Structure 1
Amino acid sequence: MKLTKSVAAFYIFLQNKERANTPFTEAEVLDATQWKRVTFRTYHGKGQLADFVSENSDGKFEASNTLNISDVEFAKRLSQSKNVISLGHNCKSKLAKALLKKSRDNMILALELYNRPSLENKMDAFVMCFCTSWEQFLKAKIIEMDGEKSIFKNVKRKGLKETISLRDCLDKIYPPESNIRKNVEEIAFYRDCAVHLLMPEIQGVVSRIFQSGVLNFTSQFEEFTEVSFLKNSHIGMISLVGEFKSPPAAIMKSTYGDIADDILALTGSLYNTMENNDDIEFAIPLNVRLVYVKDNRDGNAVILTKADEGIEGLKKALFIEKPVDRSKTHPLTQTDAIEVINKKLYEKHDGAKLAKCLVCQNSKGQYVINRNCFLSVLHKTGWANANNDYHYKNERPEYHYYSFKLVEAFMRKILEQDEYLKNAKNSYNKRIKK
């Protein structure tokens, strides 16, 4: 590969600056390369120099990564960066760039170790690498926000400056109520206090917390770096166990002795926490199903989202089944619903309006909603085809219940258009006569 004079001059210039460990200015670069100012600013602004040039807090620049490569390799990497955005291209600090690279490597290592079938202590290894990765990533963010000094404590230990902890980093980035933060704190707790309890029997529930942590990291990492965390060739999903069942206490006792009580207590606590917190940013919920649709053209089943769409994709794809107290959400029988609708219609509207919109009359000559009217609107809207905000079907025995939301929606439907109820009844009655 033939080097241009400007690239060769830039390579020598950066090597000299890196070797001397001295910062430099934009004017010095322009003088050495004979570039125009707009050329250097374009390269720097688009991140094409990110591997070799970092901007410091004084507005000057520092050179790196040039001493151990040839001029040809330098030119190749400079050329390739026109089409590939380097990790850390939007960071000014060299330390932040280095932390981002280490962070990505540690999270990939966490995934690789966890997904290795022959590794029995995969959970132990995962929590170590996972927490290290998050700490490095958050410190890179903090450096870019507040400068390099912000991640160091004032005290020194063994002559070295000590950096702030993972929990200190979380304090600076996420509010206490953040489920992303709660997820990291939960896994950090395993690392610090409960790594001896991470036995294979609890993998079914713990893996769900791990998976949410990886998805959270991916979305946060890509948002900050503007670079993909994983290439398509990498596996980014943890192998989730389909169903979690607490292991029998007797078997646990015989396997682990007295510590079995602590393991069982941890599994029970995790199970309850996940049941009470159905936010996917904390853990993949215990009771979920993927939603599928059919392609109208060829009838093939198509999943609504893919795993590589990250946390937002899974939020769209996961349907969380929550226990429903039917007596509170859908308290009305069909008779009750019709009675409430008629009562509210006459409370809110005059007889002239109702005469235009309603079809049937009672024995007193009042226009009312009867059972046929009610079923006609349900048929037209499809509200009773599934459990939803308006309708709830009890399976055994089969009963249908309705909510007060249905009452309001029903009234809006029949009053918006004078002919709505008439048309609905005609359609429904034709159907039942067939």
Structure 2
Amino acid sequence: MENISTRLLAKSQEAFIMAIELYNKPTIKYRVEGFSLFICNAWELMLKAHMINIFGPESIYYRDNPNRTLTLENCIQKVFTNNKDPLRLNLEKIIELRNTSTHFITEEYEMVYVPLFQSCVFNFNEKMMAFHSVDMTTLIPQNFLTLSTSMKALDESEIIAKYPEEIATKLLDAKNNLDELSEGNNAKFAIRIEHFHYITKKKEAATSFVGIDNLADAKVKIVKELKDPNNTHKYPAKLCINTIRERLSKENIVLIYNGNEVKFNSFHFQNFVKHFDLKGNEKFCYIHKQFSQPQYSYSQQAVDFIFDELKKDPKNILNNIKK
């Protein structure tokens, strides 16, 4: 039965690559629908291969109909039993899109769903490694796992004017629902895209225009340089820790703390942050001040820096930094 699992896994990898390649092709307008179809297929095949390996070949079939295999929804429920898990919520929302996109799809769905798509890609890569010891970055370079997307903000008045009421309502309801879920979940559910504005005297360099009124209720902060933290600092702390763990595992680096072998965890990460003052270095950390409590995200340089330091002295560095 190993051959069935292996074949499912091979098809899963191919479906994942198809999803990425289709989405990142600028000439294809069907990419939101196409991505949702192929990424769901990739997850279904990968989870069924995992279930065969763990529970046996009969686990992917309905008990009352052994000729029919389980749906993706069934597989998710069996493997990810916590219905509050952000990864599971992410997949369920993408399945909803797949099931309804043929009726209501518009080009603006990309702006609504791409934060979920990006998380879904990273989640798939992580679970492929955890369940099957397959690193998708050996098939697709790491930088190509970042999806290309329009950075235009969704304009509600434009949506209402452009589409019939039924489609406009469904699109805006989906946006509001996903925004609310994103607030309450981590990067496993959605990697959010924030929109920022800046003032320039070069009109030809602007992508959109605004008027300034000192009496307006809405306030903006004038900045000297535009940076998108979703590109420069896209790692929440948990994703930093998981990424560093994966790299340590790949290179068979064993960490020692208090004389014992340990996994790199949040405690060690926070010690690094404090010791090297990563939060005080814009190259390593971005502080999101728009929330009631500041939130922090980290750059690829931060991940590389911590990994390199661990690699230099894995037997002593965790103890030394704690001291």
TM over 0.5: yes
Secondary structure (helix, strand or coil) at the match of 1:244 reads coil
1:243 is displaced (CA, Å) by 5.2
List per-residue Cα deviations over 1:352-390 (Å, max 9, x = no partner). Answer: xxxxxxxxxxxxxxxxxxxxxxxxxxxxxxxxxxx89xx
The answer to whether the 8 A contact 2:17-2:140 is kept is: no
The answer to whether the 8 A contact 1:182-1:282 is kept is: yes
1:233 is displaced (CA, Å) by 5.5
Map 1:199-278 → 2, pairs under 5 A: 199-231=106-138, 234=141, 235-242=144-151, 244-249=153-158, 252-256=160-164, 258-274=166-182, 276-278=183-185
Count of residues in Structure 1 that have an aligned counterpart in Structure 2: 220
1:192 is displaced (CA, Å) by 1.6
1:230 is displaced (CA, Å) by 3.1
Map 1:3-18 → 2, pairs under 5 A: none
Aligned equivalents of 1:161 and 1:284: distance in 2?
39
- Residues 1:322 and 1:119: Cα distance change in structure 2 (over 3 Å): same
The answer to whether the 8 A contact 1:124-1:191 is kept is: yes
Map 1:73-88 → 2, pairs under 5 A: none
Paired letter, 2:172: L
Q: Which residue of 1 aligns with 2:309?
A: none
What value does the CA root-mean-square deviation take over the aligned residues?
3.4
Aligned equivalents of 1:170 and 1:106: distance in 2?
18
The answer to whether the 8 A contact 1:218-1:310 is kept is: no
1:154 is displaced (CA, Å) by 3.0
- Residues 1:243 and 1:182: Cα distance change in structure 2 (over 3 Å): same
The answer to whether the 8 A contact 1:202-1:246 is kept is: no
Q: Which residue of 2 aligns with 1:169?
A: 75
Aligned equivalents of 2:47 and 2:192: distance in 1?
26
- Residues 1:304 and 1:116: Cα distance change in structure 2 (over 3 Å): closer
Secondary structure (helix, strand or coil) at the match of 1:107 reads helix
Q: Which residue of 2 aligns with 1:132?
A: 41
- The alignment's TM-score, normalised by the length of structure 1, stands at 0.45
1:130 is displaced (CA, Å) by 0.8
Q: Max radius of gyration: which structure?
A: 1
Q: Percent identity?
A: 25
- Residues 1:281 and 1:211: Cα distance change in structure 2 (over 3 Å): same
Gaps of at least 5 residues in structure 2 are 195-227, 245-265, 270-283, 296-323
Matching residue within 269, 276, 288 for 1:321 = 288
- Residues 1:135 and 1:124: Cα distance change in structure 2 (over 3 Å): same
- Residues 1:311 and 1:124: Cα distance change in structure 2 (over 3 Å): farther
List per-residue Cα deviations over 1:92-119 (Å, max 9, x = no partner). Answer: x111111111111001101111111111
Map 1:31-430 → 2, pairs under 5 A: 93-156=2-65, 161-174=67-80, 175-231=82-138, 234=141, 235-242=144-151, 244-249=153-158, 252-256=160-164, 258-274=166-182, 276-287=183-194, 289=229, 312-313=242-243, 319=286, 321=288, 323-325=290-292
Secondary structure (helix, strand or coil) at the match of 1:162 reads strand
Aligned equivalents of 2:285 and 2:152: distance in 1?
16
Aligned equivalents of 2:285 and 2:150: distance in 1?
16
